[in-house]
Structure 1
Amino acid sequence: MAKIENGRQSVDTRSIRTISSSHLDDESSLGSDSEINGFTSERQTDKYGFIGGAQQHTEESAQDLPPEVLRQREVKWLDMLSHWDKWMIKRFNKVRLRCQKGIPPSLRGRAWLFLSGGKVKKEQNQGKFQELDSQPGDPKWIDVIEKDLHRQFPFHEMFVSRGGHGQQDLFRVLKAYTLYRPEEGYCQAQAPIAAVLLMHMPAEDAFWGLVQICEKYLPGYYSPGLEAIQLDGEILFALLRRVSPLAYRHLEKHKIDPILYMTEWFMCAFSRTLPWASVLRVWDMFLCDGVKIILRVGLVLLKCMLGTREKLKACQGQYETMELLRAIEPRYMQEGFLVREVLEVPVTARDVERENHTQLKRWKKNRGELNFKSPPRMHGARIIMLAEPPRRQDLQQNPTIVLEVPQPTPQLKKGKEERKSKKKRSIKKSQPIMEIPNPYSLPSDPPPPPHSDPSAPPAPPAVSSETPQTETDPPHQQQAPPTHLPPAKESPLQRSTQSLSSTDQDTYL
């Protein structure tokens, strides 16, 4: 623990790059393999796959929904995903509302891929990930990535073992990104972003999700110099003045730069800060509405921790304030409370862009031009889709499990055919009965007309004194005609399987 304490004490005097790296390293060292080995098999995982740690699921940190509510939401999301382009263009407000309520866990990975535009990107670059995956990669990045693998969510069952499938896929995704964007290379904060995606989707999908987050949602965050994250820190501080003037004045009074407390929040999209249930809800909204959600979460945490005079009495200086922001009270991070507060923060995408323009002008005035010009930021899933309209085949879903379910149309046709065949059989049954001549005719009666149906098998007429026999009766159960009657000539009845009841005999006799 001394390492963590030393890291926290010296955080104010380090450079931006060192602050980000050391803080991630220190927090990750809590879950080294030496600490985890020995009790992984004894302890049960929670419903998210965590076997311990601060982000493990608890009833206090999350709100569980009844199964019937989840089933209803799953049906609605399946319908949206099947007609994604129509919903995004015509009913995006409904999509946003359903993201705010929370995406069903069974569909979260697929929904994230559609929201981020990773699905379209993947379909338009078929085979690209496999091509990057087959290349060896830049040695300078490979060494750094391999050192960071065991630090990503070490209390999660997917990443708990060194060299396990989770760490292997994480290595593949991060290495592929360094080859895809060699000018950016690898930044340590990309690892938790990729790890969260891998918890919900295969490696190829996670790669394209990471590409979209780095290029569309948080452009420039992971580039050398971290200029974009510094700009967003100034945007956060300016918006705080409107949301919580008390917190703003306190941070300004003690000259606490935003980069000191918001770097990990923003670069990791709160994936290493909040309880896991809250992380998922924040990501649902973030991938739908863009960076304004990240800004809102930051504003809520600052307001809750520094927004009252009682809170400020406990932090009279810079060190105490930083310690307070590193130990946020769990009640403020609880899923239900946090989501409600985030939705009530009056910050829109237009506010973010306006403040971004202001801070960029101030940056150029004080520091000159940006060294790394990042692509323009996209505020949410709808803007991303409109900027790069998908083809119809780009949104087709490839199911992982195929169930052979009989189609309803052939069943109807089959039913109609069965009814028609029954009608034909009934007609065939009734016709011979009306045309059957008297098998016990007198010698004076005219002979019956010859029958030309060669298909009917010859069979002797059967007479039952009690119950009539059906068409399916076997031949050995059919009775022969009485021997005391005069023999009759061969008739159509003798060449069929129809039998006559006693009432029929009486009628004919």
Structure 2
Amino acid sequence: MSTKAAETDAWGFPQGAWHATQPAARFQQTTEEKDADRDLKWARMLHPTKGFSGVPTAVLKRRWRKGVPRGWRRAAWPELMDHGPAEFKTAAGLRQITYQSLVNSPPSSYDEVIEKDVVRTFPRHARFATAVADGGRSAGGDDEAAAISSLRRILRAYAALDKECGYCQGMNYVAGLLLLACDSASRSPNDPSASSDAADDEERCFWLLVATARGPRTRLRDLYLPSMVGCRRALYAYEAFLRKLRPKLAAHLERENVQPAMYATHWFVTVFAAQFPAPFAARAWDRFLAEGWKPVYQIGVALLAARERELLALDFEGLMGALRRLPETVDVERTLGLALRLRLKTSDVRDVEKRFGDDVKPQDL
């Protein structure tokens, strides 16, 4: 193993970057071990042209909930979606639009904030770390990190494609996570799909972002519309499910005037991609792409439920401190396991989101 490889984890972050707690370090190690064991199972399930055709739904569901191996996410994530990139492009009439034409679009009003946000995205990752000039922009030039250049092009292209939505802070972390997942260098040796280069990975990431943003199950773009209706809906639903699933904890937070918007907004705006360990975020996305928003709410509640006894003993200041530290102190395995055990139906999510729609005023949209 090279010295550089030994200094980074499977995601390319410095060893220990996410390991603020022993449970997080243990999760990282066991995840890599399990990925090796599961790799051949996914090779047998995922056909390069037929996808998961013929795989019993119960088997597939059990395996994505255990976690898609790191080397298979590039191939598996589009196939797990109800409308993957290829199907979405056809359904949305985007077959005639090329990624390169969007990249070459004229400058827009979003360019300045995109420039500032790309250098804030995963700065500890070697592929994203880059020199920063005055004004918080990338210094550019030959030394600019490759992923920064790709991320800039992806975000500018999305803003050009979806003019109503444009660009909103938080999209950079989502696109950054997708870039890491789409990296062909991390592809499983058992993946028979054609080899590709960084340009292909970049375009694959872009269309996966588009499909996730506009797909009916994931509806990610709702988070970034000027009204932020998706974020408000997510916080509304999360609070409802916290009351339903952990009523004592929800009541304590309400007594201390701790509202979900104070600590959970970034969870939902990035679907855990921004501040949480990359392996944790990827596991959340395994379920998000396959199941929609139900697992996002389950994981959100589980993050607090896993620390319920501690949180119940804290006042406002203590609660805010503990909640701010959650991403770096999360017990990943325990939290994800608890999320699966929380009893929540897809119909529950539909009912609560409908109630939000009934309550929101047209002028607020």
* TM-score calculated relative to the size of structure 2: 0.80
Instruction: State the 1:120 CA deviation.
Output: 2.7
Q: Pick one of 275, 286, 289 that aligns with 1:287.
A: 289
1:207 aligns with 206
Instruction: State the 1:371 CA deviation.
Output: 4.5
Instruction: State the 1:82 CA deviation.
Output: 3.8
- Is the partner of 1:284 in helix, strand or coil? helix
- Does the CA-based 8 Å contact 2:213-2:221 persist in structure 1? yes
1:342-368 CA-to-partner distances (Å, cap 9, x unmatched) read 1111112211110111222223xxxx2
- Does the CA-based 8 Å contact 1:118-1:209 persist in structure 2? yes
1:129 aligns with 99
Q: Pick one of 252, 255, 261 that aligns with 2:254.
A: 252
1:323 aligns with 321
Instruction: State the 1:330 CA deviation.
Output: 6.1
Is 1:169 the equivalent of 2:167?
Answer: no
Instruction: State the 1:114 CA deviation.
Output: 2.3
In structure 2, how many angstroms separate the alpha carbons of the residues matched to 1:236 and 1:131?
Answer: 39
Distance change >3 Å, CA 320–CA 225, structure 1 → 2: farther
1:160 aligns with 129
Is 1:92 the equivalent of 2:57?
Answer: yes
- Does the CA-based 8 Å contact 1:137-1:179 persist in structure 2? no
Distance change >3 Å, CA 248–CA 192, structure 1 → 2: same
Q: 2:87 corresponds to which letter in structure 1? A: V
In structure 2, how many angstroms separate the alpha carbons of the residues matched to 1:270 and 1:86?
Answer: 30
1:502 aligns with none
- Does the CA-based 8 Å contact 1:158-1:199 persist in structure 2? no
1:47 aligns with 10
Is 1:191 the equivalent of 2:172?
Answer: yes
1:167-226 CA-to-partner distances (Å, cap 9, x unmatched) read 010001000011111111110100000001111221111111111222221341011132
- Does the CA-based 8 Å contact 1:109-1:200 persist in structure 2? yes
- Does the CA-based 8 Å contact 1:122-1:205 persist in structure 2? no
Distance change >3 Å, CA 74–CA 249, structure 1 → 2: same
- Does the CA-based 8 Å contact 2:67-2:286 persist in structure 1? yes
Q: Pick one of 28, 33, 40 that aligns with 1:72.
A: 40
Q: 1:134 corresponds to which letter in structure 2? A: N
- Does the CA-based 8 Å contact 2:288-2:295 persist in structure 1? yes
Instruction: State the 1:113 CA deviation.
Output: 2.1
| Greater relative contact order (CA < 8 Å, ≥ 6 in sequence) | 2
Distance change >3 Å, CA 371–CA 132, structure 1 → 2: farther
Distance change >3 Å, CA 338–CA 311, structure 1 → 2: closer
> Percent of counterpart pairs with the same letter?
27
Instruction: State the 1:235 CA deviation.
Output: 1.0
In structure 1, how many angstroms separate the alpha carbons of the residues matched to 2:354 and 2:56?
Answer: 30
In structure 1, how many angstroms separate the alpha carbons of the residues matched to 2:173 and 2:327?
Answer: 23
1:221-241 CA-to-partner distances (Å, cap 9, x unmatched) read 011132221122111111111
Distance change >3 Å, CA 247–CA 353, structure 1 → 2: same
1:402 aligns with none
Gaps of 5+ in 2: 132-143, 183-200
In structure 1, how many angstroms separate the alpha carbons of the residues matched to 2:175 and 2:121?
Answer: 10
In structure 2, how many angstroms separate the alpha carbons of the residues matched to 1:85 and 1:49?
Answer: 28
Distance change >3 Å, CA 358–CA 143, structure 1 → 2: same
Instruction: State the 1:95 CA deviation.
Output: 2.1
In structure 2, how many angstroms separate the alpha carbons of the residues matched to 1:66 and 1:103?
Answer: 10
In structure 2, how many angstroms separate the alpha carbons of the residues matched to 1:71 and 1:225?
Answer: 42
In structure 2, how many angstroms separate the alpha carbons of the residues matched to 1:331 and 1:322?
Answer: 14
Q: 1:161 corresponds to which letter in structure 2? A: T
Distance change >3 Å, CA 209–CA 326, structure 1 → 2: same
- Is the partner of 1:223 in helix, strand or coil? coil
Q: 2:211 corresponds to which letter in structure 1? A: Q
In structure 1, how many angstroms separate the alpha carbons of the residues matched to 2:148 and 2:170?
Answer: 16
- Does the CA-based 8 Å contact 2:302-2:336 persist in structure 1? no
2:331 aligns with 333
Distance change >3 Å, CA 143–CA 304, structure 1 → 2: same
Gaps of 5+ in 1: 1-39, 373-509
- Is the partner of 1:51 in helix, strand or coil? coil
Which range is displaced more, 207-216 or 234-243?
207-216
The residue correspondences of 1:68-467 to structure 2 (distance < 5 A) are 69-79=37-47, 82-84=49-51, 86-87=53-54, 91-116=56-81, 117-122=84-89, 125=95, 127-138=97-108, 140-162=109-131, 163-201=144-182, 202-216=201-215, 217=218, 218-305=220-307, 307-308=308-309, 310-313=310-313, 315-317=314-316, 319-328=317-326, 332-334=330-332, 336-363=333-360, 368-369=361-362, 371-372=364-365
Instruction: State the 1:85 CA deviation.
Output: 6.6
Distance change >3 Å, CA 45–CA 214, structure 1 → 2: same
Instruction: State the 1:52 CA deviation.
Output: 5.5
Which range is displaced more, 282-291 or 127-136?
127-136
In structure 2, how many angstroms separate the alpha carbons of the residues matched to 1:83 and 1:282?
Answer: 25
Distance change >3 Å, CA 159–CA 53, structure 1 → 2: farther
Q: 1:84 corresponds to which letter in structure 2? A: G
- Does the CA-based 8 Å contact 2:155-2:172 persist in structure 1? yes
- Does the CA-based 8 Å contact 2:235-2:261 persist in structure 1? yes
Q: 1:69 corresponds to which letter in structure 2? A: D
Is 1:61 the equivalent of 2:54?
Answer: no
Q: 2:168 corresponds to which letter in structure 1? A: C
In structure 1, how many angstroms separate the alpha carbons of the residues matched to 2:357 and 2:39?
Answer: 46
Which range is displaced more, 191-200 or 129-138?
129-138
Which is higher, the Rg of structure 1 or of structure 2? 1
Q: 1:250 corresponds to which letter in structure 2? A: H
- Is the partner of 2:222 in helix, strand or coil? coil
Instruction: State the 1:267 CA deviation.
Output: 0.8
